[in-house]
Structure formats: structure tokens, C-alpha cells
Amino acid sequence: MAVRALEVTLAFGIKPFDIDFAQHVSNITYIRWLEELRLEMLRQYLPLRGLIQSGLTPVLTETHIEYKRALKMFDEPVGKMWMTEVGGVRMSVEAEITSPDGVSAKAVQRGIFMHIATGRPARVPETLKAFYAAALQL
């Protein structure tokens, strides 16, 4: 199995407003869960407050979700996200949303860091590169 560098895990509760007219979890909810997972990864490895104070912000450039199995009210989904690529400017993460019945969705997201003042791309912070490199050595 490939290394899941900087993996984070969150349990999600399904709320009535997460359910769409087809009686399953809305695709909008999956996007929100991915955001929560990315924020947790930042919290653990590159806190957002310090990042913004340094004049940088993360920006998504691409999201791809493959829905495997519908989640319904009272299911107990768990999300996992891990870093798969850290380059000079770009980074990528992968994620899975699972329940006791199996994988519900798989996602890939790509992004950059941006200078808040100029709106221009920034290099991936060295702190994140170091955490990623260390995780790959395990």
C-alpha cells in the first residue's frame, strides 16, 4: 500500500439539510467534507492563522470526485485525506469518504498557495515540504 503522507481522519454526522431530493447525501455536502478535511490537515501541519499572517493562502485549482455508493441519513461516514504531491508551486491531495458499508466516494484535489497581496502563485511553504518529505521516509 502506498504511503498516505500527512493523513488526517474526521468522522462526519449526516444532518437533515445534507440530504437532497433523491434522499441521499448531496454532492455539496461532499465538497464541504473535503474542505473540513483540508482545514484539519492545515490545522495539524500548517496552521491557517500563521499562513495568512505570512501573506499566503491556499487556493484550490481542481476537484474531482468519483461517487461510489450513496450515503443516506443515519449512515456514519468517515473521511480520510492525505497528501500525494508537493511540488515547487503545486500540491495534490486524495481523499476517501467511507462508511461501514464501504467506500462512498474518492476525491482528488489540486491546489496552489497564493500571495494574498498580489494574487500571484507562491512556492509551497518549506514547513509543508518538510512534513511531506519526513512522512515519505517512514
The number of angstroms, rounded, from the C-alpha of 78 to the middle of its chain's C-alpha atoms is 13
**1-52, pLDDT tens digit by residue?**
688 999 999 999 999 999 999 999 999 999 999 999 999 999 999 999 999 9
Sign of CA dihedral 118, 52, 36, 23: negative
The domain that holds 61 is classified in CATH as: 3.10.129.10
Mean pLDDT of the chain: 96
Q: CA 60 → CA 19, 75, 137, distances in Å?
A: 25, 28, 27
C-alpha cell at 16: 437533515
Query: Looking at the 3D structure of the chain, how many domains does it have?
Result: 1
Note whether 77 and 98 are within 8 A (CB): yes
Q: Which domain holds residue 116?
A: 5-137
